[in-house]
Amino acid sequence: MGLLHSPLPSPSPPLLTSFSPIKASILPKKSSFISHHKPLQQLLSTGVSFVLSLGLLVSAPVSIALESPSLQSSNSPLEVICRDNEAEEVYENDTEVSKVVSNESIVEEAWQIVNDSFLNTSDRRSWSPESWLQKKDDILSSSIQTRSKAHDIIKRMLASLGDPYTRFLSPEQFSKMARYDMTGIGVNLRDVPDGNGGSKLKVLGLLLDGPAHNAGVRQGDELISVNGVDMLGKSSFEASSLLLGPNGTSVNIMVKHGNCGPVQSIDVERQSIAKTPVFYRLEQIENGSTSVGYVRLKEFNALARKDLVTAIKRLEGMGASSFVLDLRDNLGGLVQAGIEIAKLFLNEGDTVIYTVGRDPQYTRNIVAEAPPLITAPVIVLVNKSTASASEIVATALHDNCRAVLVGDKTYGKGLIQSVFELPDGSGVVVTIGKYVTPNHMDINGNGVEPDFRNFPAWNEVNNRLSKCHKQQDG
């Protein structure tokens, strides 16, 4: 019996019995951004940039996205000077600086990051500007003899905040994060200003002896195109979506070597298995008179939006007049993927999510910029393991009167962390903001209550949506 064949209009079995859940094979992540502290230009400049769901952002001398390779740079634009190995020279210079940096300055920079950006989201009054200033005086009142001691001081300093997500990263941990690859060809990309008010994509890191490295791509190269698609102005998220593909398939990239070097067309064979998180089928209900498109989204990765669009278009072509989006046991993934997926269902100008933080640059209203892909009614299935990016999608559709929520109360993870690199290559993860739904509800720690516990009849869904009114801003 198909998933949508529970008795209608009043199903007797509970939703989670009539729909067999599929456990996701990932643990809750921390929602993520990454950038550097050198200057502190954060990633939210493009909406929410590359954010890893269930929470994190990175900030420091080089921009990164936790558990995802959106290495968004907060560095100043690279000098437009033609010289060989420019990118390598930049990194070598950074290394030289890190060798001579003092232990005291590392601790002080960690203190300053918290002072500038930390958002206390707990009930405990464990942080205030006054107490934090006193802590700086206490910590730096005497010299710090070793690097290990400096790191221990930072750990204790962060632990005193009472925030489980704010923590220290050793140089080894930060390095692993910075070199994370999800493109399938062994490159890590970041957006950098192009000098004309736009952005371009640079290769920040390469997997040694990986597909791109062996094909001739080098650190510092500019990514010009992917399979003929111009990358000028594109984000690293968009580029990664195009680079990903099944193991053994090839992708054509155009790269410019160095700052003023030649442009080269390179075919690179993918060596990672990019798995689609989207599963779909057409269900016939009400004695075959109604066709419903069922789509299960297991996680938000770089393939999620592209494959969801394909699934929806195919289901529409098969006659689907309404849709079920199954987000049960979806613990998150890339927050930006969730935001882009939510936009597929919303009208132009509708709010997807608000981000709120101490710093005004973390306070944004993220909206849909184009008409929706579909306007058919939607049921979103949720449960206690629906978290982070999934909660963003669920509330965006619900609060904009595009869907009803069915199932159990969601997980309740809506914090934004940023990862800041310190001068010696270590880092700190700091909670700098949170997500607020279009109806101004704080997701974190609260979760989202569904409209229905059991699968409703479609006439109930249509009736609920017809009476729904979006909350007005202000």
Q: Is 265 one of the catalytic residues?
A: no
- Residues 357 and 302 sit within 8 Å (Cβ to Cβ): no
Question: Residues 27, 13: contact at Cβ < 8 Å?
Answer: no
DSSP state of 334: B
- Cα atoms found within 13 Å of the Cα of residue 309, Cβ hemisphere only: 13
- Taking the CB of residue 59, how many other CB atoms lie within 10 A of it? 33
Concerning whether 241 is annotated as a catalytic residue, the answer is no
- SS3 state of residue 225: strand
Between CA 151 and CA 301 the distance in angstroms is 33
Of 437, 433, 436, residue with least CA distance to 405: 437
User: Residue 99 corresponds to which tokens in the numbers above?
Assistant: 């060798």
Pairing status of strand 31-34 against strand 55-57: parallel
3-state secondary structure of 325: strand
Cis, bond preceding 423 (omega within 30 deg of 0): no
**Contact in structure between 83 and 45 (CB atoms under 8 Å):** no
For residues 218 and 201, what is the distance between their CA atoms, to the nearest angstrom?
13
Instruction: Return the structure tokens found at 227.
Output: 């399979």
CB 277 within 8 A of CB 304: yes
**Rounded CA separation 91/401 (Å):** 49
Closest CA to 221 of 174, 268, 177: 268
Q: Which of 249, 248, 245, 253 is nearest to 189 (CA)?
A: 253
Residue 25 has what DSSP assignment?
A: S
**Residue 219: CB partners within 8 Å, gap ≥ 6?**
87, 88, 91, 203, 204, 205, 206
**Quick one: which of 469, 281, 304, 293 has its CA closest to 393?**
304
Distances (CA, A) of 117 to 236, 256, 389, 430: 25, 36, 22, 8
Among the listed residues 30, 234, 298, 413, the single catalytic one is 413
Q: Taking the CA of residue 36 as centre, how many other CA atoms within 13 Å lie in the half-sphere pointing to its CB?
A: 23
- Alpha-carbon span 274 to 281, nearest angstrom: 21
The alpha-carbon radius of gyration of the chain (Å, integer) is 23
Residues with catalytic function: 388, 413
